[in-house]
A = this chain, B = another copy of it.
């Protein structure tokens, strides 16, 4: 369609309409009003994709599989999701929509609120093991992600930090929780190879090339309590770091 659309149509408010289609899926209207009603919605598409990804992993959520799960032809999906990337955006935002922000309403105790929020986030990421890697890789700008950001800003209001610092704190905490979820995931996946891994590490430690590693292993207490304990311990440190005033000294 090289026929350039004339600059009519009074671009939608302040939206910069550079040339053709916007890159962010959130900038495309879900429905324009003309033509037949779409048979599916973004939320139903995201739900179908999430169900597949939860059950069989992110790779299983291919365009074909998702379309089939919706009872649609493969290429019909491209009317809703111009690129596979955008499907991931929809999935992520749907996951971000699982929070119950009224139950997490700010209590005035900033640290406690953040702890609860982080635990909720970890639970969500455990429910959707594929999500952590995506959250790290992509910005997340859908309506639910914005709602999450807004909630975070509300919770951290009593901290005395300004907006920018609180957004940095959000990134820090978000990153930590995702990281931890990822760690749990690889640890669970690697449990089968733990035996050969232990042998490998043991041999590496005994090789003398890694003296400090060997020393650390010698004084290690493997279990160190249940897995949530180590999360809580690190979480507390990260919250402290995130809420620290901008220029301590």
Are B186 and A179 within 8 A (Cβ)? no
- CB pair B16–A199 under 8 Å, yes or no, is yes
- How many monomers of this protein are in the complex? 2
- Residue A39 interfacial (CB < 8 Å): no
**Chain A 1-19: CB-based contact to B (< 8 A → 1; otherwise 0):** 0110000000001111110
A246 to B, closest residue via Cβ: B233
Say yes or no for A190: interface residue by CB 8 A criterion.
yes
Q: How far is the CA of A147 from the CA of B230 in the complex (A)?
A: 25
Q: Is the CB of A221 within 8 A of B164?
A: yes
Q: Identify which of A150, A154, A190, A215 gathers the most chain B CB atoms within 10 Å of its CB.
A: A150
| B18 in contact with A196 (CB, 8 Å) | yes
Residues of the B chain whose Cβ atoms lie less than 8 Å from the Cβ of A176:
172, 175-176
- Which residues of chain B are near A242, meaning CB under 8 Å? 237
Given the contacts A196-B15, A238-B241, A182 and B24 also touching, CB distance less than 8 Å: no
Contact of A15 among B175, B203, B241 (CB under 8 A): B203
**A228 interface residue, CB < 8 Å from B?**
no
Q: Which A residues have a C-beta under 8 Å from some C-beta of B?
A: 2-3, 13-18, 22-24, 26-27, 133, 136-139, 141, 143, 146-147, 149-151, 153-154, 157, 162-164, 166-168, 171-172, 175-176, 179, 182-183, 186, 190, 192-193, 195-204, 206-207, 209-213, 215-221, 224, 230, 233-234, 236-238, 240-242, 244, 246, 248
